[in-house]
Amino acid sequence: MKKTMDFYRFWCMEFDSWRDFDLKIIEEEGEDALSDPGKADCREEKRMIERENARIRQKYRNMESARILKFSELAEKYDIRIKRHKEAEFNRKNAGKYLDYNISKSELLL
């Protein structure tokens, strides 16, 4: 179970994309979306252009992270190993509560 939990922890919390989004940005927003800092007249303008480009790239990086998080949460939600583990934890935790009443978990959920 540890391997499964580590897998989902990585994809849900620790994954950092290494993709370059420049082509996607140009494809979606047009050729002039990213400016060339080499064409700047002075240092301040160059820094301003670099900050603007970084802001646009970060927006696409955040969208990619949200997409991957959505996929991994969906996979975790329907993973039979996780369901079995949660059910076993529930049964272990509540084993003593229902012995006196002779009630099963399925009857409780109804």
Residue boundaries of the structural domains of the chain: 2-78, 82-110
pLDDT, tens digit, for every residue of 45-75? 889 988 998 898 899 888 888 888 898 888 8
pLDDT surpasses 60 at 103:
no
pLDDT surpasses 70 at 101:
no
Checking 1-9 for CB contacts under 8 A at 24+ apart, the result is 1/81, 1/85, 4/79, 4/81, 4/82, 4/85, 8/72, 8/75, 8/76, 8/79, 8/82
Token couple for 27: 């494809």
The DSSP letter of residue 97 is T
Task: Answer whether 0.85 is exceeded by the pTM.
Answer: no
